Amino acid sequence: MRILVLCQELPPVGGGGGRAAFGLARQWARCHHVDYVTERSRGFPAREVLDGVHVYRTFSFGRHDLDAAAPSAHLAYAVSGVACGLGLLGHGRYDVINSHFAVPSGALGLVLSAVSGTPHVASVHGADVYEPFRRLSPNRCWPVGTAVRLALGKAWCVVAQSRDTAQRVLDHCGEGIRRKLCVIPLGFDPAQTAPFVTGREAARAECRLQAGACYIVSVGRLIKRKGFDRLIQAMAYLPQDVRLVIVGSGPLRGELEELARRSGLADRVQLAGRVTDKLKYGYLSAADAFVLSSEHEGFGVVLQEAMAAGLPVVAVGHGGQADLLEDGVNALLVDSNEPRGLAGAVQRVLTDSELRAAMCEANRRKLKAYDASAMAQRYVQLFREAVASAGSGRLSAWQRAGRLL
């Protein structure tokens, strides 16, 4: 097949959604031709081939760092992406267009699909349909919400990566979209991470962590939705030998550092910033537990990374993470990220060695259900359905069967 992937993010630019999109593209490129159109950031070439994927970076402006982009960057990508996509379409027809994020990539997919007649499969990742704090979130900003409804409403199929995200799509776009909505979880490729997962003591030495302390770790962009302020506040209710490492960068770093200082926790909280994959997995391998304090997650790629390192998890129990986590089996789930509640769950994990060991083993087993090649093949099956039904103008048997939530 010839597959055109549209995603404004491509690692190391962006977050989990971009990693997921490229992970799928890498799997497809083993057997198919894959072109990937993304935003161009400073220091990256306009064209290159990565793991068999043909990458095209389009003109963009307003991206000031690797983690976040201004709305102008996405607008520029949507406009320049049309020119790039039309140029690629001029060199040969694609079997399917797969966009990631409802805007701007989904809107770009809508235009290219309309021009070429190529079926468009839109993948949504959570924050592109619901973001509790972002001013331009579709659920809060009418123009963006309208663009999302149009892009998803015109797509041949909409793929959500969790039941929670699928429900958010229904809430935002209405019940009419249910007939073409399905759930395919994000896959995880252990081959990409196995070289970085090491023994606990070796990892602590590499990351320069104290040998006798207990460490909890969290990974994510430093934005309000991640709730890192609540996690730092939770440290006040934990013993003095418990340390916290937060891996990631973002606009709230200064604010979080000030919170730690003001709370008298500066010596127990480490903001590691953006690090290499090797060092990130070093922190995960060195830790005693992983904490997800987010107000909301569409899925939680970082959870798969923690599971690969064999860590027990403490997390808020609602959102896309509920598909991966089972309370008392591979995680302890709390009702909210209220600091005392987080601290209580963390303390229980740290002091109950049998529970911790059982969770570690359960997470390693659970991760096998998210094999990257199997998830990519589910997409390929969906693409073949799209190709088969594209000429008929009718819903496929797959859609009529209602394999939804």
Residues 39-55 pLDDT 10s:
988 889 999 999 999 99
What is the model's pLDDT at position 326? Answer: 95
Per-residue pLDDT, averaged over 326-349, amounts to 97
Per-residue pLDDT, averaged over 251-266, amounts to 97
Tell me, yes or no, whether 116 and 170 share the same domain.
Answer: yes
* 337 within a domain of the structure (yes/no): yes
pLDDT band for position 401 (cuts 50, 70, 90): very low
Tell me, yes or no, whether 356 and 386 share the same domain.
Answer: no
Tell me, yes or no, whether 45 and 58 share the same domain.
Answer: yes
Tell me, yes or no, whether 201 and 318 share the same domain.
Answer: yes
* 8 within a domain of the structure (yes/no): yes
* 349 within a domain of the structure (yes/no): yes
* 220 within a domain of the structure (yes/no): yes
pLDDT tens digits for range 351-393:
999 999 999 999 999 999 999 999 999 999 999 999 998 765 5
Tell me, yes or no, whether 140 and 203 share the same domain.
Answer: no
212: domain CATH number is 3.40.50.2000
What is the model's pLDDT at position 67? Answer: 65
Tell me, yes or no, whether 143 and 284 share the same domain.
Answer: no
E-state strands within 231-372:
242-247, 269-273, 289-292, 313-316, 331-334
Tell me, yes or no, whether 120 and 268 share the same domain.
Answer: no
Tell me, yes or no, whether 336 and 353 share the same domain.
Answer: yes
Q: Which of 88-92, 119-123, 142-146, 191-195 has the lowest mean pLDDT?
A: 191-195
* 405 within a domain of the structure (yes/no): no
What is the model's pLDDT at position 392? Answer: 54
pLDDT band for position 62 (cuts 50, 70, 90): low
Domain range for 48 is 2-187+372-400
Q: In the chain, how many domains are there? A: 2
In contact, 329 and 377? CB cutoff 8 Å? no
Q: Say whether pLDDT at 394 is over 70.
A: no
Tell me, yes or no, whether 395 and 338 share the same domain.
Answer: no
Percent of the chain with pLDDT over 90: 77
Tell me, yes or no, whether 68 and 144 share the same domain.
Answer: yes
Query: By C-alpha distance, which of 125, 121, 155 is closest to 138?
Result: 125
Residue 346: CB partners within 8 Å, gap ≥ 6?
Answer: 216, 234, 238, 242, 289, 291, 314
pLDDT band for position 193 (cuts 50, 70, 90): confident
Higher pLDDT, 155 or 60: 155
Q: Kindly tell me the number of DSSP H helices and DSSP E strands found in the chain.
A: 14, 14
Tell me, yes or no, whether 200 and 314 share the same domain.
Answer: yes
Higher pLDDT, 256 or 251: 256
* 277 within a domain of the structure (yes/no): yes
Tell me, yes or no, whether 19 and 56 share the same domain.
Answer: yes
* 65 within a domain of the structure (yes/no): yes
* 21 within a domain of the structure (yes/no): yes
Mean pLDDT computed over every residue of the chain: 91
Q: Are strands 157-160 and 269-273 parallel, antiparallel or unpaired?
A: unpaired
